[in-house]
Every structure is written in C-alpha cells, then in structure tokens.
Structure 1
Amino acid sequence: MDDSLLQIRRGDRFAFGRNWNSFVDLVDEGRIHSAAASLRTALGVEDLGGRTFLDVGCGSGLFSLAAHRLGARVHSFDFDAEAVRSALRLRRAFAPDAAWTIEQGSILDDGYRARLGTYDLVYAWGVLHHTGAMWRAFDAAVELVAPGGLLYVALYNDQGRQSRMWTAVKRRYNRSGAVVRGALVVGSSAYVYRAWPLFAVRRLLTGGSRPAAARARGMSRRHDMLDWVGGYPFEVSRPEQVIARAHAHDLSLLHLKTCGGGLGCNEYVLRRPGGSAGGQERAEPADDLAHLGGTRAQLSQGHPR
C-alpha cells in the first residue's frame, strides 16, 4: 500500500490529496490568472520564460499550471498519490501538451532528490511544514536550487501557545470519525472568522457596500479551511528562524510577506548565489529582481493557507 495512504489510515496524516482533488473541480481561468499573478508579484517578474520550475508538494497542481502559463518548464511532485492524480487531472484539462512532468516523490527521499537535479525556481508554498521534518525538508529544498536560482517558500507562523492548540486540533481531527471532524471544522471556522460580523456591522453603519474580495492566490476558502483544520503533520517557525537558516545556506532574502504575527503562512523568496549550474547556462533571476534593491518586506494579514 502507498505510504501516504498508510499514514492517512493510521491517523498520522491528513488526506491532502483528497482535498485538492476536490478543489480541482473548481479551477477555472480566473483562478489560474490569480495564481499566476501571485507568482509575478512575489518574484517581481512578468514571466518565467526560459526558466525551470520545481513544484515541491504540488497538491492540486494549480501553481505548476500557473508557472507553465508564465513560460516555465515545470516538474511537479507530491508525496500523496491522490495529489499527483489531481495535478494530472489539471494538466489534462488545461495544458495537455505542456512541458510539464508530474510524479510521486518525497522531498525527504535522498535517492529521489538526487535524480531531480537543480532548478531556476524551487517552489514550496505551504508544504515543508507538513512533512514531519520541516527543517530537514527546508535544507533539502535548498539543494535543489540552481546557482543564481530562487527558493520560494511559505511556512506556518509560530504563534506559541495558539500553535500548540492547533496541533492538538489537527491531531484530533485525523484520529476521529466524521462527526467529530465536522464539529472541529465548524468550531475552527467560527474561531478563525470570529471578527467577520464586526466588519459587516461596521460596513452597514458606515454605508459601505464593498463586494467580498476574491480568495487570494486563486484558492478556495472551504478547501483552505479543511487543509488548515486537518493539516497534519504540522510545524511552525518564526521569520527570524527561517532567515537565519537561509543565511546559513548563503541565501539572500529578496521578498518577505508575513501574516502580521497572526495565523497563517509567512512567505519568503530567497536567492542562491552564483550564475549557472551543471555546465548549462541558466536565466539569471537577479536581473529581473534587481529593482528590489535588497529585501522587500511586506506585512499583511494572512490566511490559514
């Protein structure tokens, strides 16, 4: 039996792939456009033409598809076999002839990783903290970045006591039946979005009529909430820890977007020094990011996923 399925049946792992397979039914051109826009914004580029793109833990495959639309040659992998099937579904529907390979694999598998080579852009958004060995996975992802390439990673923010509470919720979710799981999702949603009624009342009192904003990155609020409540294994980090780890690998910080110290992911774009790898000339990400002038920091209120 597949390792991911065994872990799910033991209650040691959330069924990430099942959740993303359901999400694929919602993907349309609007969501693909939003995903591509989020890549352009974080990377400070208009396209990824001529670049190689590695999607670590590709999930639904939405951001692999977005990278393909931006011109990259894409390789995707995921530990969860159903997530791989989700990405294959998405490719068949939107990019059947794309230069985009998809397979099952683990960032923690040394043998698998050795076969991958290096890439101009390694993307691991909301993935490494679900491996059960976050820092080892981070170090492994760095190995896959070509000289002069970028690592774009997002990791859950460490909220101290609240993070420990969420760990307990996630563990309970995965070791419970349908009734308890449903109750945990309802209760967690009420907690996470507890301020919404106040915002609605304020808009009413001030005569505001602003329409609800579209979900960031082309995602789905319902699927993100399931991923948040059930997403186990679960680890967290503080920005200073991630930046120190990056500096230990001689990576420079090009982009930082935090969740304002609250619940959600902090995202980082990190650059590896150098200019070419393996004797093959590669595009130089620093050329497109030179206007950043070092570190670009953005603070915003984040989402669970």
Structure 2
Amino acid sequence: MTGRTFLDVGCGSGLFSLAALRMGARVRSFDYDPDSVRAAEELRQEFAPHGDWSIQRASILDADFVQELDQADIVYSWGVLHHTGNLWAAMEATCGLVAPGGKLYLSIYNDQGTESRIWMSVKRRYNTSGDVTRRLLIAGSLLYLGRHYPLSVARRLARRVRGSATGTLPRRRGMSRSHDLVDWVGGYPFEVAAPEQIFSFCRERGFELRYLKTCKGGIGCNEFLFTRGSTNGG
C-alpha cells in the first residue's frame, strides 16, 4: 500500500487506519462519534505520532464535508454505514470517494426480513428506555441469541470424547462478550440490506464485485470488496 491513499469512513478506534498506515498508506480518518475520534487520536499519538495520518470528527452524510475530501485509492467503511440513519445516502457519498481504479471495502448488516424488523424495534426501545428496561432487553436478547449454545457445547464435548476436538477456537471479535452483546442490542440507528441490493447499487455506479463473504442468512454483516472502473462513469 506504499504511496496509496486510504480513507477510513467511520474509523472507530482507528485500528484499521493504523494498520493501513503501517502498510505504507497515507491515511485520512473520520468518525461522527467524539469518543471514537479521541480513541483514534490516542492510538495515533502512541503508535504513529509522526505518521501521515489525519483524523477528524465528521459525518459521511455531511455533503459539504464530503465535497472537500479528495478521492482515495482505498475507501474502507467496516460496519458503519448501516448506523448513519440513511444507509443509501451514505453509500452514495462513500462510492463517490473512491478514485477511478480504486477499491471499496464494505461491511453491511444482512437483511433477515421479519427478524431484522424485530431487532430494529428492540434497538429503538433500548435507546429510548431507562436502565431497568435496558437490562431486561439485554437479558432477553442474551437468552434468544444463546438458545443454541447448549447444543453447540454438547457437540464440542462429543468431539472431545471422540478425540477429534481441535481445541478452543479464538473469538471472531476482539471485544468481550458482554460488550459485544450491548453493542448489538444498543446499535441504533440500524439498517440492513440484502447482498444483491449492495451489489446492484455499486454496479450501477461503475463498480465491479471482487469478493463477497455472506453471513449465510444469519445475524451479522455481509462483506464486500469492489473495484471502481478506470473512469468515474465506469
């Protein structure tokens, strides 16, 4: 990535921006959440105080801000745009920031139909309720999400008895299970999209799909890598 520009749309703690910087990219990051911006700033001060890395507090839905940004060789927005409150406007703005021939990395919540609508109601209620209701919603969500856990434990024990167990698998996410649960239940605004919706939207704007990893219809994000055509018109 040496010499390439990397734009982190919704940088969070800044870990991915730091990784891009260490791989040689010139990095620009922004996030709407002030705590995330502070975390990214602290990360930069500790690990890359002299790196080519700028960090701002801003929103992808701020048209004036987006217009001031240069197009980047790599635009990265991982688990962000579905929390803006206007997914497709955020997608439009993000696509426009990819330079001709550049790459777009996206992670967007999967549309599960009715279940997604129910989760949206839970998340909205969580964010408009007091402490007691929030605790009840967390407890109920834990019971629902963990309903298959006893069966998975039994399967692991059976494999261990047969001598086919390979040990404990690492967690796919870095945060603790308790923070992971609150992150899911409290994550609002919340929007979803089917893989074909994301594909069609980006193809109409001159992008070609290079990689797709779905969550197989379950809870979670579908992951996309697109490449933009050599001209803005595709």
The SS at the match of 1:271 is strand
How many residues align? The count is: 229
Structure 2 residue corresponding to 1:203, chosen from 153, 156, 176: 156
Query: Using a 3 Å threshold, how does the CA distance of structure 1 residues 268 and 66 change in structure 2: closer, same or farther?
Result: same
Residue ranges of structure 1 left out of the alignment (5+ in a row): 1-47, 277-305
Shift of 1:212: 3.0
Cα deviation, 1:145-165, whole Å, max 9, x if unaligned, reads: 011001101110000010011
Q: Which residue of 1 aligns with 2:36?
A: 83
The SS at the match of 1:117 is coil
Structure 1: how far apart are the matches of 2:166 and 2:132? Answer: 36
Aligned partner of 1:147: which letter?
P
Q: Which residue of 1 aligns with 2:145?
A: 192
Cα deviation, 1:197-250, whole Å, max 9, x if unaligned, reads: 211112212325443322336454433322211111111000111111011101
Structure-to-structure mapping, 1:155-234, within 5 angstroms? 155-206=108-159, 207=161, 209-216=165-172, 218-234=174-190
Aligned partner of 1:249: which letter?
R
Q: Which residue of 1 aligns with 2:53?
A: 100
Structure-to-structure mapping, 1:34-113, within 5 angstroms? 48-113=1-66
Residue ranges of structure 2 left out of the alignment (5+ in a row): none
Q: Which residue of 2 aligns with 1:252?
A: 208
Shift of 1:275: 7.3
RMSD: 1.7
Shift of 1:183: 2.4
The yes-or-no answer on 1:132 pairing with 2:85 is: yes
Cα deviation, 1:84-125, whole Å, max 9, x if unaligned, reads: 111112222222222111111110111101111110111111
Percent identity over the alignment is 55
Structure with the higher helix share, 1 or 2? 1
The SS at the match of 1:120 is strand
Q: Which residue of 2 aligns with 1:302?
A: none
Aligned partner of 1:165: which letter?
I
8 A Cα contact 1:57 1:127, kept in partner: yes
Q: Which residue of 1 aligns with 2:69?
A: 116
Shift of 1:181: 1.6
The yes-or-no answer on 1:239 pairing with 2:190 is: no
Aligned partner of 1:49: which letter?
T
Aligned partner of 1:193: which letter?
G
Query: Using a 3 Å threshold, how does the CA distance of structure 1 residues 223 and 99 change in structure 2: closer, same or farther?
Result: farther
Structure 2: how far apart are the matches of 1:165 and 1:250? Answer: 34
Q: Which residue of 2 aligns with 1:30?
A: none
The yes-or-no answer on 1:141 pairing with 2:94 is: yes
Q: Answer with 177-186 or 246-255: which moved more.
A: 177-186
